[in-house]
Each structure stands twice: as C-alpha cells, then as structure tokens.
Amino acid sequence: MPVAADLRARADALRWYHTIDLGNGIVTKGVDDTPYRLARLEFPASFAGKTVLDIGAWDGFFSFEAERRGAARVLATDHYAWHGAGWGTGAGKAGFELAREARRSKVEDLAIDVMDLSPQRVGGTFDVVMFLGVLYHLPHPLLALERVASVTRDLLILETVVDMVGAGRPALAFYPGKELNNDPTNWFGPNIEAVHAMLNTVGFRQVRTVTPVPSAPYRAARAVSHWMRGKNSFSLAFRQDRASFHANRL
C-alpha cells in the first residue's frame, strides 16, 4: 500500500482527541478543534532553543507544535488519557505514537501524574511549560500548581475552564459530581481572579490573561444554547468559559 494510503488507514482506525496534521495531506479527525484553541493561546511564534514540557499532552498536538516552532527539547507527559481505564477516547497512547512517527518527531514522552511532577522526576526544570485543559480535572488544584511551578523555569502557558465569572473576588466552583459538562473527572472551575491569585501564591511573579472572557450578552446567548441542548443549566453556563494565561517566574 502507498505510504500515504497506509498512514490514512492507520489514522482512520483510531479515535482522536486532537486535530493534527500528519503530513501527506492527512489531518486527524479529532473531536477537539485544536487549531482553533491554538489561536487563543498566544503561543510564542518561536521556541528556538527552549526546553518545553507539555503536561497532559494526550495526542500531543501542542508538543508537536512547540517542536515545529524550534524547541530544542520537548517532553510530553500524561497519565489518564494514555493509561487510565475508561478515560478519553479509549485509544490510549496510540494516537500520540502514530503522530510522532508520521511527523518524524523527536518529542520525548513520560507517563506521570501531575501530582508526581518534580525536577528529579522530569530531569530538571523547563523554560516553557504547557498546562492546557488539565487544571479543572484535578481534585487538588493549588497543590497541582505547586508541582507545575516546581518544574517551570520561566513561562507557564495555562488554559482552563473558568467559572464564577463576575464573583468579584477569587473563587472556585466545586463540581463534586458531574456538574461540569456531565463529566465526573471535572473537579474545580476557578475564576480569572483565582487563577491569578493561585499562580502568584505558587511563585509566578507576573500573570497575564491572554483571552478575556466574552461579554455578558454573548455569554447569555451561549448559555441559552447550552440549556436548549441539555448540556448545562442556563445559570451555570452563563458563569463559565475557557481562558488562557501566561505566567512568568523570572
């Protein structure tokens, strides 16, 4: 079978989370519109010479993108989506491995829980750490951010669900059940003020929100759509969004 046809057949046999360009005109059919999310992160145009750690990398889109932008070393880490029973798309680590092979990538990988991160476990600190879509999955968010800070030399790029929008002071919504998107793996949704305060608390000197939360009328319209589709109640959806942050230690 020609190389491209073989690659397409192997990619089509997997269930993908990320939408990744594998080359040869083949783009994975991810459930996540990852290029759209990339555009909302203010990803540095160049990672030249930087060491990069991707925490909760899943299929590895952001690791491969950092490598494409010149990173000297990229370490992709994850745990649940790669090895956890019943987590994610069920494809385990196969997507990450196929994408790495197809892209002839040198991205390294390590299976490790966020709570176990330390310079000893990951081989030092990293110039840039990506912590994208993971914070709200953790039952101990401040402790997790301490672990993340311990392996960050300078820049942390963080993306998370935010909740309690408009509370006017640092606050986190607690999801003891399936309150967020009917998903029992979601635990806490901080508001923007809480993300800044938690990052300052664990040692980041400067924190910048790079995606402002949309206006109240926009959030109201979106909340109506969530409610009509049975995804979330109106009042919960109105207070929720996703936001991205850049935080610096130096």
What does the binding site for ligand SAM look like in residue numbers (CB under 6 A)?
Answer: 32, 56-58, 78-81, 87, 113-114, 132-134, 137-138
Residue placing its CB nearer to ligand SAM in the complex, 36 or 120: 36
The secondary structure element, H or E, covering residue 23 is strand 21-23
- Other CB atoms within a 10 A radius of the CB of residue 16 amount to 24
Residue placing its CB nearer to ligand SAM in the complex, 148 or 165: 148
CB of 73 to ligand SAM, least distance (A): 18
Strand duo 241-248 + 152-162: pairing: antiparallel
CB of 159 to ligand SAM, least distance (A): 6
Q: Which residue is nearest to ligand SAM (CB)?
A: 56
Contacting residues for 105 by C-beta, under 8 A, at least 6 apart = 63, 64, 67, 99
CB of 83 to ligand SAM, least distance (A): 9
CB of 4 to ligand SAM, least distance (A): 26
CB of 220 to ligand SAM, least distance (A): 25
Residue placing its CB nearer to ligand SAM in the complex, 22 or 138: 138
Residue placing its CB nearer to ligand SAM in the complex, 38 or 171: 38
Q: Look up residue 191 and give its amino acid.
A: N
Strand duo 172-174 + 188-190: pairing: antiparallel
Distance between CA atoms of 139 and 217, rounded to whole angstroms? 32
